Structure 1
Amino acid sequence: MTNLVILVGRIARDPETRTTTGGTSITSISVVTDRPARKDGKTYKDENGYTAKDSEFHRITCFNGLGQNVAKFCSKGQMVTVEGRIHYTQWEDQTGTKRYGCEIIADKVDFLTKGRSDGNNRSNEEAPDIDED
């Protein structure tokens, strides 16, 4: 049996990091992927003549060292590849209603483009080199 996810997309918002009471560092990002939109089973063009797209947003969770690198070197708009596994959660909210969630637990995040340099410790001068062949 296998639970493997590979996503290639853009980071939709800057990473958010928190630390658990046990000292585990957790960084969350949202990665957006696009696919051709369909009407009546066929792709179609938008008002500008381009193939219309449907976007999906994926919640990605990175732990410890991986999460620290993602927080340090990634930013909104950056293209990444994420490899990991699907994780489903279930909980009850404050009203007692059962809620369900889905996230990708990342094992690996590859930076396909460099993030922006905005003075918020995301200069990327120390980031790993990117093959631009």
Structure 2
Amino acid sequence: MPGLNKVMLIGHLGKPPALRWLESGQAMCKLSLATSERYKDNAGKTHERTEWHQVVLWRELAEVADRYLTKGQKVYIEGRLRTRTWQDANGTEHRSTEVVADRMEMLSPRGFSEAEPGAEEGEPAEQKPGPFHMDASSLPF
């Protein structure tokens, strides 16, 4: 029986999406996603633990993320884990485990905008197109 490599995350973006175009003309976007869990210790005190996940999106999904996602926005990501290994200029080997996203869904309300310094409370947020769902299986490649 084959193994299963599936990741499902709901969290908030820690910084704006980082879109890059590869020499092949393919779009790649990296996200930094925070997920948090709350738990109580033996004394009954509540704690919160935050995990940071590096997410990679490709092709049209990368372009959609760059166009519609903003720092602080809540998002659902579905994909698989991938570990990359590389050597730096000094010959030191590095490893990085990332989530390669196959699916993304925006969960923040329509018009979500990260609070900007000096913005007046109650001021309407910039309107952006509403929730967008993209499933990589519908892509033609």
1:28 deviation in Å? 0.7
Q: For residue 126 of structure 1, what is the aligned residue in structure 2?
A: 129
Look up the equivalent residue of 2:113 and give its one-letter code. R
Moved over 4 A (4+): none
TM-score in terms of structure 2 length: 0.75
Q: CA deviation at 1:36?
A: 2.9
Counterpart residue number, 2:138: none
Report what 2:113 is aligned to.
Answer: 116
Q: Does the 8 Å contact 1:37/1:43 carry over to 2?
A: no
Letter in 2 for 1:125: K
Structure 1 residues 43 and 89: alpha-carbon distance in aligned structure 2, compared to 1, 3 A threshold: farther
Q: 3-state SS of the aligned residue for 1:35?
A: strand
1:11 matched to which residue of 2?
A: 13
| CA deviation map 1:65-88 (0-9, x unaligned) | 111111111111111110000000
What is the alpha-carbon distance in structure 2 between the residues aligned to residue 15 and residue 117 of structure 1? 14
RMSD: 2.3
State the match for 2:99 in structure 1. Answer: 104
Contact 1:36–1:43 (Cα < 8 Å) also in 2: no
Separation of aligned partners in 1, 2:19 and 2:84: 20
After the TM superposition, which residues 1-133 of structure 1 pair with which residues of structure 2 at under 5 Å, given as runs? Answer: 1-36=3-38, 42=42, 45=45, 51-114=46-109, 115-116=112-113, 123=126, 125-128=128-131
Aligned length: 119
**Structure 2 residue runs without a partner (length 5+):** 116-125, 134-141
Q: Distance in 2 between matches of 1:95 and 1:124?
A: 47
Shift of 1:128: 3.0
| CA deviation after TM superposition for structure 1 residue 124, in Å | 5.0
Identity percentage over the alignment?
Answer: 25
Query: Aligned partners of 2:36 and 2:28: how far apart in 1?
Result: 26
Question: Structure 1 unaligned runs (5+)?
Answer: 46-50
Deviations for 1:28-52, whole angstroms, at most 9, x for unmatched residues?
111001123676xx4753xxxxx21
Deviation at residue 60 of structure 1 after TM alignment: 0.5
